[in-house]
Amino acid sequence: MSQPVTPRRTTRSCAGSAPDPASPSSPPRSRPKPSPRRQLLADTGAAVTKEEEAEGKGKGKRRIVALLEALPGRHAQATDLLRLLAPAPAPPLLLYGGAATGKTRALLLALRYVRPRPRRVAYAALRSLPSIRALFASLLSQLGLASSSSSASSRQRVPDKPSDFVAALRDALAGLSAQGEAVYLVFDNLEVVRSWNKGDQLLALLLRLHDLLRLPQVVIIYVSNATPDAYYSMTGSIEPNHIYFPDYTVDEVRDILMRGHPNPKLYSSFLSVTLKPLFRVTRRVDELAATLEPLFRKYYEPLGDSKSIPEEGMKRKLFEHIQPHLAVALNETFSVPLRASIEKYKDGSSGVKASAKRQFGSRDNLLTELEFHMSVSAKYLLLSAFLASRNPATLDAALFDSTGGSDNRRRKRKSSQASVAMKDNLVEEMLMKGPGTFPLERLLAIFQCITSVSEDTLSDVECPNSIMNGSGVAGLMSDVLLQLSTLCNSNFLSKSRSCPLEGSARYRSNIDEDLALKVARSVGFPLSKYIYRR
Amino acid sequence: MAAPPCDAPLTAASNIQPFFVLHKAAAASSAPASRGRRRADSSQPSLPGPKSSKRSRDVDASDEDVSELYQRLRLEAFHRTWSKIQSTIDEVLRGINLKLFDQVLHWIQESFSAIRAIAKPHHSEIQQPYPLITDVICRRIPAAFVLTKNAEFVDDITTFRDLAEHLESNGCHLAKLSATELSPKNGVGGCFRNLLRQLLSDVPDVADVSSLASWYCDTENYDQPIIIIIDDLEQCSGDILGELMMMLSEWVIKIPIFFVMGIATTLDAPRKLLSSEALQRLEPCKLTLGSPTDRMNALVEAILVKPCAGFCISHEVAVFLRNYFFRHDGTITSFISALKELWREKIEALPEAMQKYAFSLPSCTSGKNSSDPSISISEGLLELLKLQRDWSAVLLCLYEAGRHDKVQLLDIFCEAINPDLQNASNRDLFSKTTSENLSGAKLGSGNRFIDQAMNTVRYLPLETLSRVLDVWSAHLKGMSEISDKLKELQSTTIGADNVRTAKEKWTRKYLVPVECLPFHEIICFKNVGILQSALIGNPRRMVQLDLLKSQSHLKCSCCSRSGTAVSGSLHDTSIMCNLAQEYGDVINLHDWYIAFEEQDSAEPLLRCKSPVFFGCQAREGLILCRESHLALRDLNRRDPVADGIKALDSIL
């Protein structure tokens, strides 16, 4: 029952003032598979129709009850909505509050129950409209007569300029509201407009729409994440009424999550364990629902199926079972599950695991640790980029002399208190700044240094009786720039755009130390010796 | 590139050649020059087939028609056999990918039914601009992250293309978005338009999601999910992609749009790229491709170990290939192109080898058969093939055991093909006790992987061992003596040591490297130098040649004379390339161009009929030239000749 007002239906119900079976609040016909919730809505809808027929006194009350039923924890907001929407010559209305607090849902449901019935509702979700023109086109086609929604005519009529749009909008609305019933214009996700190209102008236009149109039968409703202060400092238009949707409390969230659950007993015992700790992390219902869903599947795993009802002892067992998973979920904002079928497949192929661990070649270890394949020279290049970003350029000479540099650093240790403090400041500053940029020349120099140090050991390990070693082709230097582009493409390095004629493009490494250490381990490079710490 | 029509399905793979830095080209360009005209003209890998034959005809017309005929026949033979190899490669790779494809399809079906279980909106409901009011809080787009496990992306271009085909043939609606579309320049609007253009036949002037909704309501489109494939997530702009996700997530119940995204590195990539709000809108799922090493093993097994191609490679070449794979490139693509080059070279050299037979091959004279000159070549070849078959069977058995200890086939292969192995094992027989002590270190390093594979057998648990034995019996079907012994081993529940000793015996007997066999010159490819220049030098050489001989591409009347002298009307980059060759050292491109510019202004170079060559157009050429090395992705490792021509075209 998610579709209160199709234009055509409303028109019909207007033409004949008698109660119409096809009126929006009547139960839907030929719905394939109504969910329990829909059934509920449909029932209340039927009740309302009956109520209308009887034209009894408690009509308004019944409506509110039905609306409140559908909006748990939103008592005040629902009554406000019905009150502020009802008389047609109403000032604009702003619904605001955090994400996933039920603003849009409350509004859409309230519009379904508001009396007199809206003649038409035009809804524009600004997030799903890619451009200003699309917004204009969408609104006008929703307001236009049923026939004008065909693509051919709308293509001709889409205005480009805001002034044209306002004129067209007024024309369309004037025709509709002449008959005395209210037309509602809803702008959802108003906050996204600010980031649009020419968003400020559009925002000013939308907020002044009430003044510009001057049509008493048109009610303009904004829905936004941001508070009213974000908008009304910029225009001189009249301030709309606003309704604040606060975040849900724990109990409200529990009520919402419990609604329509097939096994409420099991689920409530689950929620009593998990909801409170997770609620400290996020209060958004959608995020909570997304996090709880896999946890619940884990929760009833020992029971075997989700239908059974656990007794006390079992509940404790289930709690112990879920505890570690909960701890993980608390720390993870974005978890990506591996598909089960792959795990099975992997188990089959990697039979012996523990047998002779020391025999594993270094390269194979890397594949399991690093998770992806990279050629050895790309790895060295990545390491040198990491070092170049991490270390100040002034230290290069000390670190990478002919011996590989580690003994020079020993000497630096004994320095005065003051210089140590100064260096601490320097390090702190570096950390605050993040990875530094470096020119290509520096990268190549470091690369040459660290490969020349490790080349000998590498060639011993990698290819014991290769004839290629001396020839230089198998050396790592040959296609560095090729590897560089690979690294840039995989976002490990970022390259600043600059004039290629000057050749002054600077690079920056984006990897964190963990990954760098993993890479270093996979090629047997003593990275920690080269990282400048203090 | 010499892309015969037969390998059209894998053009992206076979067309790809790595590029190199210009100033390092000296060695590579001198090397092929020393090998004579025939090689330089006819066997350049990157010339289109008809063109290459035309060119060779030009040269050989003065010589004789016969050689031209032979050349054509050879080319034909090459294409025919290569297409066979190519199809084997395709099959192998497709077999590996198919597992993933089926998983993706399964995931799509699951997600689709999950979404439909939440709500099955009516057509009129779908077209409403406002969201459905359901009780289930669902705004999450199912998204599959496909980990390609290779930082280098080239191999996966074909994989994702095949995936798209596979899904489309299974009824999904498909759209592909690439990094160029998901760039800030396009914005989310442009990106969405692009999406619509791939799905809708008629995209309205002002497109928003509702036009997609009304398209989806058409009966022929309804009831199938829409899949958006983004093959290189890392290169996309996170903002734009995030915005697109937010936009589509509002509609996900009405229009089931799923994402399939390729990630080259780790799962950190989407975490770093996308805002947390966008991530919350995804219902992620991880899928993994076979790692490059897996694919490599499969390829080596199909092409090199099993005698599919009819040629084999020497130890030297194998080691070169392996090092190239692990150290430099790490792509299957370049491995395949190397194989192709090998095969082409083999076909070229085959007649010579046969000719040599008349003067007796060194392997026949030096070996024990030298006393018996009557042995016929056909017998010898048959014997060789049989030995090859046995060899590969035993090698595969070794690998089967070794893979339980993560031994790679390419490693075992390199070792097994080493001619020193034979000598060493012979020596081993003679002085078993001393060799342990004296040359233990050397042997140990030489036989590392084979020994490891042998040792694994010892540690295998019993059920794994019997599984291994089953696979062995499949491999060893043709070899009667071993398979009997194997049956014996299988029937008696054996200790692992039995198996190991038996295995050792066979290994010593059958694992004779090809280079120790008579007649191996005919089928064995040994020339590393050609391969090196093909993999490393050729593309670079192409760019250089094109720059040096730009007249032949431009065909302008003023520069028509085909001399090597630098004429003033040449394109700046060509002039510079010519001069740099003479100069013979690393040059500063920028300074040279500045110098050219000053020269230009002093004496206007409008002699050429195409004055646009100079000034800013020339600069573009320079940028192309320079960028082709730094930003290789721009040229996308395509055909160097075509790119060279394109570069010149764009200058024109």
Examine residue B609 and state whether it is found in any structural domain, yes or no.
yes
ipTM score for this prediction: 0.78
- The pair of structure tokens assigned to A368 is 């399991």
Q: Are B551 and B559 in contact (CB under 8 A)?
A: yes
> Could you read off the pLDDT of B626-640 as tens digits, one per residue?
444 333 333 334 444
* B25 is a domain residue: no
Which range has the worst mean pLDDT, A180-194, A341-355, B536-550, B589-603? A341-355
What is the average pLDDT value for chain B, to the nearest integer?
70
Q: How many Cβ atoms sit within 10 Å of the Cβ of residue B82?
A: 22
From chain B, the residues in CB contact with A462 under 8 A are 323, 326-327
What is the pTM for the complete model shown? 0.74
d(CA A177, CA A185): 12
Is residue B23 in a domain? no
- What's the total number of domains in chain B? 3
Minimum Cα–Cα distance from B414: chain A residue: A463
Which chain B residue shows the shortest CA-CA distance from A71? B135
CATH at B167: 3.40.50
- Minimal C-alpha gap between A531 and chain B (Å): 23
Q: Say if residue B221 is in the same domain as residue B362.
A: no
Q: Are B534 and B338 in contact (CB under 8 A)?
A: yes
B353/B458 same-domain check: yes
- Token code pair at residue A233: 């400092």
Which residues of chain B neighbour A333 with C-beta distances below 8 Å?
276, 279
Reading the block at residue B278, the tokens are 């966008």
Which residue in chain A has the smallest CA separation from B27?
A: A473
Beta-bridge partner residues of B229: B176, B260
Structure tokens at A33: 């598979």
Q: Do B370 and B341 belong to one domain?
A: yes
Same domain, B268 and B350: no
Cis bond upstream, residue B292 (ω within 30): no
d(CA B575, CA B577): 5
CA distances from B49 to B46, B58, B299, B344 (A): 9, 14, 26, 13
CA neighbor of B257 nearest in space, from B287, B286, B282, B288: B282
Q: Which of B21, B137, B628 to mutate to test the interface with A (most CBs of A within 10 A)?
A: B137
Do B519 and B562 sit in the same domain of this protein? Answer: no
With CB atoms and an 8 Å threshold, state whether B632 touches A482. yes
Residues of A in contact with B470 (CB under 8 A): none
* Percent of chain B clearing pLDDT 70 (strictly above): 60
Pairs of residues, one from chain A and one from chain B, whose beta carbons lie less than 8 Å apart = 300
Let me know whether B567 and B515 are in one domain: no
Hey, what amino acid is at A366? L
Find the range with the poorest average confidence among A491-500, B76-85, B363-372, B409-418: B363-372
Contact B208 A129 (CB under 8 A): yes
Contact residues on chain B for A373, CB-CB shorter than 8 A: 149-152, 291-293, 330
Q: What phi and psi values does residue A240 have, to the nearest 5 degrees?
A: -80, 165
Q: Cβ A260–B135 below 8 Å, yes or no? A: yes
Chain B residues near residue A515 by CB distance under 8 angstroms: 266, 268
Of the pLDDT bands very low, low, confident and very high (cuts 50, 70, 90), residue B5 is very low
Nearest to B310 by CA among B70, B77, B11, B471: B77
B439 and B378 belong to one structural domain: yes
| For testing contact with chain B, the best of A253, A261, A375, A451 (most B CBs within 10 A) | A375
List, for residues B172-223, the tens digit of each pLDDT value. Answer: 999 999 888 888 888 888 899 999 999 988 888 777 888 888 899 888 888 8
For residues B156-184, average pLDDT? 90
**Shortest alpha-carbon distance between residue B75 and chain A (Å):** 30
- B6 domain-assigned: no
Q: What pLDDT shows up at residue B585?
A: 65
Q: Which residue, among B135, B471, B532, B576, would best test binding to A if mutated, counting the most A CBs under 10 Å from its CB?
A: B135
Any domain includes B47: no
**Exposed e or buried b per residue across A430-442, where buried means at least 16 C-beta atoms within 10 angstroms of its C-beta:** beeeebeebebeb
Q: Say which amino acid occupies A322.
A: I
Mean pLDDT, residues B271-295 taken together: 86
Are B156 and B279 within one domain? yes
- B506 and B597 co-located in one domain: no
**What's the pLDDT band for B229 if we cut at 50, 70, 90?**
very high
Place of tokens 């060559």: B613
User: What is the SS3 assignment for A508?
Assistant: strand
Do B322 and B433 belong together in one domain?
A: yes
CA gap B277, A123 in Å, rounded: 23
B247 to chain A, minimum CA–CA distance in Å?
Answer: 5
Last residue of a domain, one of B527, B550, B581: B527
- Domain end, chosen from B527, B547, B575, is at B527
Task: Examine the domain organization and report whether B139 and B172 are in the same domain.
Answer: yes
Asked whether residue B381 is domain-assigned, the answer is: yes
Nearest Cβ partner for A486 among B132, B152, B291: B152
Whether residue B266 and residue A360 make contact (CB cut-off 8 A), yes or no, is no
- Confirm whether B55 is domain-assigned: no
Residue reference for tokens 């290569």: B82
Domain with B616, as residue range(s), is: 537-645
- What residues of A are in contact with residue B151 (Cβ under 8 Å)? 372-374, 378, 486-487, 490, 492
The terminus-to-terminus CA distance of chain A in angstroms comes to 66
Q: Do B204 and A154 touch (CB under 8 A)?
A: yes
Nearest CA in chain B to A30: B122
B273 contacts in A (CB within 8 Å)? 491
State which of B505, B527, B549 marks the end of a domain. Answer: B527
Helices A513-523 and A362-370: angle between axes, nearest 10 degrees: 160
User: Which residue of chain A has the CA closest to B330?
Assistant: A375
Provide DSSP, B549-601. Answer: THHHHH--STT-S--SSPPTTS-HHHHHHHHHHHH-S---HHHHHHHHHHHHH
The answer as to whether B11 is a domain residue is no
A370 vs A362: which has the higher pLDDT: A370
- Closest residue on chain B to A130 (Cα): B189
Distance from CA of A423 to the nearest CA of B (A): 31
With CA atoms as reference, the chain A residue closest to B459 would be: A355
pLDDT at position A463, please?
40
DSSP state of A309: -
Q: Most A CBs within 10 Å: which of B191, B297, B328, as the mutation test of the A interface?
A: B328
* pLDDT digit string, tens, across residues B231-249: 888 888 899 999 999 889 8
Q: Which residues of A touch B620 (CB under 8 A)?
A: none
Return d(Cα A95, Cα A190) in angstroms, integer. Answer: 10
Q: Do B544 and B487 fall into the same domain?
A: no
Three-state DSSP class for residue A402: coil
Q: Which residues contact B229 (CB under 8 A, 6 or more apart)?
A: B160, B163, B164, B174, B175, B176, B177, B260, B261, B262
How many Cβ atoms sit within 10 Å of the Cβ of residue B356?
14
Per residue in A440-489, pLDDT (tens digit) is 888 888 888 888 776 655 544 444 333 333 333 345 555 777 788 888 88
